[in-house]
Structure 1
């Protein structure tokens, strides 16, 4: 038999107070109570620094007997410095063995324990992820320490991974959806590090050696620039003692490297990159411009407006291109936010013969957003969507550990999290208009079209200055 749980008096008082305040603000009571119940606050956590500079964030979560640990380093592809793919191969190599364990020994031990683990690199960061039963912390945490502090960069394993990566770089060009972001980033950001392809190019990867990876590790995997975020079933003081014992003696091996990037390019006109794929029957397209960095004060307001334009299924773009015209299975807009800059991208795909109809319609939707703004009903729907989705983004120890690591790297604090609903609610119709004008580019747009160039070349140039590449050519 299912028994109803009687709410506590304190909870009732909180909800009633929210309803009263909402009524004063003109918000219907039922909706106010619903939104209050979906509010999210960052659970209690402790952040401290070891003597070597390593930042550690610990958060207890006792619902399940699991622990997730993430180590994050400022060692992404933006730091490849003329060797695309180096950051990615270096991160992969962390799991190729340590000074005391081979790759096979690491895999056998972790798989015996049922642990999940992987290493990654993206545009700005690299890291390792471990998730394991809390009872196995004595076995897993020392192994994680060795992976982070003492990677061996095993020559045979490194050579095997490099060989596979070279094949993967060829294979991914067969799927335009897998490479359109790399083409767009390079076209938009140019020689800046944000234009570097994460997985590299064939020419570059061929020349990367394990010594290059080791040198990259020594420069960029340093305790004073990194964070270790651990969430799960543990006692904070006990975990703090363990981490201090495991990581306090970690010392950097090389000198710190100051990242010197060329300035972001200034695009004084619209441009088009047409990437030819002779056997294509569809066109993958993306267009946009510069966006905002992650710590921008308008970040949340931009998310609200973008939900209207193309950040959810029931968006202006998807409604126009998919629902109304049947040109695609999906159209979206995205703000990719980095530490120092960002990009705004509208993207979709369609049949070759409908390419320009789809691109023109997407441009018309963007123009309509600027000319008409957002009506109150649509804005309220987008805000309710974001408020409702936000708590579900942080339901697992892994998502919470990722959040703690992101707070360190991007420099925002828990007020950004705890005040999310209030900031979303603070976006009204007038604020939305200001955000559109300020952050949604409509001029000097940069276009990437991947498809059959013979069918597209004659009309693609109307969007801007045309440049062509072959998809089979190396690089982006």
Structure 2
């Protein structure tokens, strides 16, 4: 029996020009329109497939995506396998080769993309309503009947290996990967989504096929359709195209993907002998995407390092000229997350920049956030939030994120209320609860001979070379 759940909601707020939003934020606290997620149906097919259908008739476009709960955390000893598999879905099906698929989408001005991250893999397509009959069945074919052509797979693998090598030439491209590997160690969250040169080089067609069979199954996936369609007709199409998809073997068990290890202050020093800058991250454990405090923490982080006028950017860039930019952020996952201050500085300024970053961060406890500063951040956040979910593609992405991270619509619908209810007193309590203060974890990428003594000031140092394979 097919289960259908009607999810009520009001239409999304109208588009607000970025310039107007910025002007309102600069002027002070503003009364932003309350944002609520538009209505959508949640359907569970007999094979366990979750389906989200959201009608949006403003423009004759449709955005569809498949989200599979499988990513780097499922790679085990074969780092990069999920990433390779996710991209390889676009290499052709049992009925159409890559050239035919590319031509079908390109000829109609449609877009097709795919890939895998830490915990989820996605295939997405955007096309005109008039092209639904031609492209939706092809999309279903891509998801359910990939060929994993060995020749195309080999070329893709070599491109990815080259990409890893090139990424390490620019530390800002890889510093987050080193950071997560340091914080999570041997746990699944510590596995680099990109893989490593050696792990990717060892992957074969059989590995990709096995991974696909194990994780790409209807009871571990969602199909999300947002756009100009009638839900009853679209539901019939989805059931016809995906209803025969079958899972192989028993249902997948939930796994523990790990927690941040921060029992003492540590520094990972990544030596790049030719570096003229030091790239750094400082932080520790964060929160899961579905944490009840997710929204108010975005406001608090806006003050610290979430906008151009934040404390960190003011101090490290505007006032001291130590860097071209400094920020902070919570990087959320489904079970936990990380928090980090991020910046880079000229090699001779490393000691000053690190000291000032720590001093500025300490203001959260020593000084706290006053009412005027908090109100400014609240206005900024409320002005930034609705424009992120205006298009069908953006809304499909949001529903996919909600599915992969077990986020209820109440977090979205109560966004404005959660922001408005934040007071300086509540902010202080949230700072004490969620911002890491003791045993901070640090990653430094730079010329080790120059910054090794500085690194020792911030914890026990582990030193590796950036040319070494892997990230820890």
TM range (shorter): over 0.9
Query: Unpaired segments of 5 or more residues in structure 2?
Result: 1-26
TM-score by length of 2: 0.92
Cα shift readout 1:144-188 (whole Å, capped 9, x = no counterpart): 111111111110110110111111111111010100000000001
1:3 match? none
Query: 1: CA distance between counterparts of 2:213 and 2:365?
Result: 48
Contact 2:83 2:193 in 1 (8 A): yes
Aligned with 1:288: secondary structure?
strand
1:190 aligns with 2:185: yes
Alpha-carbon distance in 2 for matches of 1:294, 1:475: 27
Is the aligned partner of 1:338 residue 2:343? no
Within 5 Å, give how 1:3-152 maps onto structure 2.
Answer: 34-36=30-32, 38-152=33-147
1:163 corresponds in structure 2 to: 158
Which of 176, 183, 189 is the aligned partner of 1:181? 176
CA distance in 2, matches of 1:383, 1:261: 35
What is aligned with 1:324? 319
User: 1:200 and 2:195 equivalent?
Assistant: yes
CA deviation after TM superposition for structure 1 residue 301, in Å: 1.5
Report matched runs for 1:197-346 at 5 Å: 197-261=192-256, 263-264=258-259, 266-346=261-341
Alignment partner for residue 356 of structure 2, among 344, 361, 367? 361
In the TM superposition, what whole-angstrom CA distance separates every residue of 1:366-423 from its partner, at most 9, and x where no partner exists?
A: 1111111100000000000111111101011111001112222222222211110011
Distance 1:50 1:260 in 2: 24
Deviations 1:257-303 (A, max 9, x none): 43544643542210111111111100110011011111111111211
SS in 1 for 2:275: coil
Q: 2: distance between equivalents of 1:301 and 1:31? A: 18
Identify the match of residue 450 of structure 1 among 445, 461, 464: 445
How many residue pairs are counted as aligned between the two chains? 445
CA-to-aligned-CA distance 1:92-137 (integer Å, 9 cap, x gap): 1111111111111111111111111111111111010100010000
RMSD of aligned residue pairs (Cα, Å): 1.4
In 1, Cα distance between equivalents of 2:148 and 2:380: 46
Secondary structure of the residue aligned to 1:94 is helix
Matching residue of 2:469: 474
Q: Distance in 2 between matches of 1:288 and 1:343?
A: 8
TM-score normalised by length of structure 1: 0.91
Aligned counterparts of 1:119 and 1:412: Cα–Cα separation in 2: 22
Partners in 1 of 2:234 and 2:258 — Cα distance? Answer: 43
**Which aligned pairs between 1:380-395 and structure 2 lie closer than 5 A?**
380-395=375-390
Bigger CA radius of gyration: 1
The equivalent of 1:409 in structure 2 is 404
C-alpha distance in 1 between matches for 2:296 and 2:103: 47
Over 3 Å counting, the alpha-carbon distance change for 1:359 and 1:31 in structure 2 is closer
Structure 2 CA distance for aligned equivalents of residues 114 and 254 of structure 1: 39
The residue matched to 2:340 in structure 1 has which SS? strand
Q: How far apart, CA to CA, are the structure 1 residues paired with 2:162 and 2:272?
A: 18
Tell me how far apart the structure 1 counterparts of residues 452 and 409 of structure 2 sit (CA, whole Å): 50
Unaligned runs of 5+ in 1: 1-29
